[in-house]
Structure 1
Amino acid sequence: MPADVEARPRYRAYSLLTLALAVLLFAGVGVWNYRLNPLAYDRAHIREVAGILTRGRNYANYDTNINWRALRREQIYQLKAAPDVLVFGGSRWWEAHADLFPDQTFFNAWVSNDQAEDALALAYLLDRAGTLPKTLILSLRFISFQPPAEREAAEWQEWAGEYRAMATRLGVPAHSSFDTLPIKNWSGLFYAPAVFERARQVAAIPAEPGPTADLQNPALEVIAADGSVHWSAKSLAKYTKKFVDGNVRKELLKIGDTAPKIDPALVDAMGKAIGFLRSKGVRVVLAQTPYHPDFYAEVQKRPFGKTLNSLEAVAQDMSKRWGVISVGGYDPAKLGCVAADFIDQIHAKPACLSKVVRLIPADKGV
């Protein structure tokens, strides 16, 4: 018998063994990621934590790298009553606490890497849950209207079903089912480096995640019952001037001369979602938060700055077309925010956010 014929069974056996080992490896990575980061992948745990928050308790976690949209979905459906004020935007709003809105019930529904599609999905969720707020504060991010094919972030796909349902309701073109599959999000479950990073993190922090009555923890980040984030003492100590300045330089180097595009179709879709909310009696506010002074000054010389200026123009146009309130902006000087008001190039502290909030006029009805 020829040697190559005799070798075939051994080759097939080797191939099958290699495949089996690869499957076991990926499965093992998936299991450990699932167990070590349940707020990213475990839907039952996410539902449980949403219940804890809805009942008025806070929740301490290792970090903020969780599936925020899945958590917000559960929170919205578990709300006992519609809030007076609901803030929705990206992480720029994560430190907007309830005390910025005295004498009003408040829910901060911020998510990471918000896109225009999220506005449609949120409108659908709130309407379906019967928890449309009196005032909804929305915000425009530098990639809010970026064409999907050019995006790096894919977190918005968690709300793909809600987005597509509202797009159909509004009569606007929706991305295809394939383009809205959360493939990137779930592929993270099988990302091996994430297992080692989380294991290192868990080993370094003696405390464990769980409900808490406190708003600050020595090592864990606290998700407040109002939806906002309160940094650990460890994180606050990290946000030094040296750290922030280094972050600004890093982000300026990262963007270079690039600038996100603005897709008119997405602008139109978000506008129609705002129109829908207005028809339901919701007072809609477009509130822009500023950038770090050094970052803003530098990008005004680059294409990125032109995108920011265009977004401010979009906000003004939406205000006129859809009858919404537009406040704030990206220029920190106009709002009286200084370098010490930021923890990096884009995230403002409550002291700066309060200056944006104060520009929102008192509610006199829609």
Structure 2
Amino acid sequence: MQVAKKIILILLLPLVLIGGINYLIDPDYTLRKDYIPTLVEALSNGKMVGGPMNINSRVLKKQWIDKLPFKPEVMVLGSSRTLGLSEEAFPGKTFFNASVTNCTFQDMYAFLNLFVKKQERLPETIIVCADQWLFGNAFVEKRWLNNRVDFVEMLQKTSDLSGRQFPSKWELQKEWIKELFSVRYLVRSLRQRGKTETFQICNSIADNKMMFLPSGVRLLPKDVVNASEDEMKQRATNYFYSSGDEHFNELSVLQCQLFEDFVNHLKTQKCEVILYIPPYHPDTYRLMRQSPKCKGVFMVDDYLLRIAKNYQLKVAGATNPNKLNLSAADFYDGVHLKPEVLEDIFKENQ
């Protein structure tokens, strides 16, 4: 019996030590959520938040929507490609940007459900960012499971799809447990101990920090957005070689149904829908055009334009940057436009 206890202690103590260090330091803000309510309270009261790039943005936006002190007339549902879109593109309108990094259609359903429960009505105008990878089968994102309950609630209102067709929250919990006891994360935690950047509540924009504004907009540090032309081009090339999200050759039936059911619901609720088709950096676009792995990306435009016509949606953007007269200088990497360029695209559609 004593031997069994010793064996158990030998096995458990390292896990407890690794998990404890990782949880307490948590340099990438992936394990803990206790910091979020303070940020939400500040943002809801008109303050700004500055800090590190990593944040559990789905939990942040969920709690933020619940405390939102106004009823937005314009709402953005999208990924990091729309996180920089601000109210400047919609003068005279109350505005909230509900975008999150690596947004999925499930995220959009969940946030729509949260808005209905909080606001009792939907915004007059909703921008839907149709990232090309959302229509293939190569893109995998599990963090939407943070808000799975709200996704399923909205799915039941809008579609004949069943929640059983989608992963359970346990899939996300498994990822959390892996990170908690990860030796790789332990090494990062120890290296970052005492150096991890903290979130700060601010009254003005700090150019050298990631910033969240009370409108839901995220600003990136100036040195990220305004890097040299050579650096921008290198990022665009690196994106093509490092990302497999665009590696699909046909559209996913399930993903297309999720999208179409979502758009149909918005139209039945009398919302004006602006469909945003985000462009690629010219170099990234050229490399994808040359790759047989990315054929599906170029089917997305035709599909979206057909859906826009069927549902009478406004369309902003295009996969091909040449259609929008965009140059390499308009991007800060392979898939993200500079904020002022993004705003101009929407101003042109007013």
1:16 lines up with 2:5 in the alignment: no
Instruction: Look up the SS of the partner of 1:327 in the other structure.
Output: strand
Shift of 1:41: 4.3
Gaps of 5+ in 2: none
Aligned residue number for residue 287 of structure 2: 298
Per the alignment, residue 125 of structure 2 pairs with 135
Report Cα offsets for 1:196-232 as digits up to 9, x if no partner: 5466557557x742110122243x3111122222223
Question: Aligned equivalents of 1:168 and 1:272: distance in 2?
Answer: 11
Show the 5 A alignment for 1:149-228: 150-176=138-164, 179-181=167-169, 182-183=172-173, 185-187=175-177, 188-194=179-185, 196-197=187-188, 200=191, 203=194, 208-218=198-208, 220-228=209-217
Could you say if the C-alpha distance between residues 102 and 41 of structure 1 is closer, same or farther in structure 2, counting changes exceeding 3 Å?
farther
Secondary structure in 1 matching 2:290: coil
Partner of 1:338: 327
Partner of 1:111: 100
Query: Contact 1:94–1:228 at 8 Å: present in 2 too?
Result: yes
Aligned positions of 1:1-366 closer than 5 A: 10=3, 12-34=4-26, 36=27, 40-63=30-53, 65-130=54-119, 132-147=122-137, 150-176=138-164, 179-181=167-169, 182-183=172-173, 185-187=175-177, 188-194=179-185, 196-197=187-188, 200=191, 203=194, 208-218=198-208, 220-236=209-225, 239-255=227-243, 258-259=247-248, 261-361=250-350
Runs of 5+ consecutive residues of structure 1 not aligned to the other structure: 1-7, 362-366
Distance in structure 2 (CA, Å) of the matches to 1:15 and 1:189: 22
| DSSP-derived class of the 1:59 partner | strand
Q: 1:278 to 1:359 in 2, by over 3 A?
A: same
Whole-Å separation in 2 of the counterparts to 1:129 and 1:314: 33
Cα RMSD after superposing both structures = 2.7
What does residue 364 of structure 1 align with? none
Aligned amino acid, residue 333 of structure 1: N
Structure 1 pair 306/352, CA: closer, same or farther in 2 (3 Å)? farther
How many equivalent pairs are there? 345
Deviations 1:84-122 (A, max 9, x none): 211111111122122222222211111111122222222
Offset, 1:137: 0.2
Tell me the CA shift for residue 50 of structure 1.
1.6
Which is further off, 47-56 or 183-192? 183-192
Distance in 2 of aligned mates of 1:123 and 1:72: 12
- Cα deviation, 1:249-272, whole Å, max 9, x if unaligned, reads 222223579326532222122222
Question: C-alpha separation between the residues in 1 aligned to 2:233 and 2:212?
Answer: 27
With 264-273 and 53-62 compared, the bigger mean Cα shift is at: 264-273
Answer with 1 or 2: which has the greater Rg. Answer: 1
Letter in 2 for 1:17: L
Aligned to 1:92, what secondary structure does the other structure show? coil
Rounded to whole Å, the distance in 2 between the matches of 1:344 and 1:317 is 29
Q: Any idea what the Cα deviations from partners look like across 1:6-35, whole Å, max 9, x if unmatched?
A: xx964x34421222213312431342245x
TM-score, reference length from structure 2: 0.87
Question: Any conservation in 2 of the 1:119–1:270 contact (CA below 8 Å)?
Answer: no
* Letter in structure 2 aligned against 1:193: R
Distance 1:326 1:135, change over 3 A: same
Q: How many Å apart are 1:70 and its aligned residue? A: 0.8
1:33–1:246 Cα change, 3 Å: same
After the TM superposition, list the runs of 4 or more consecutive aligned residues in structure 1 that deviate by more than 6 angstroms.
none
Q: Distance in 2 between matches of 1:184 and 1:355?
A: 42
Per mean C-alpha deviation after superposition, the further-off stretch among 17-26 and 111-120 is 17-26
**Equivalent position SS for 1:111:** coil
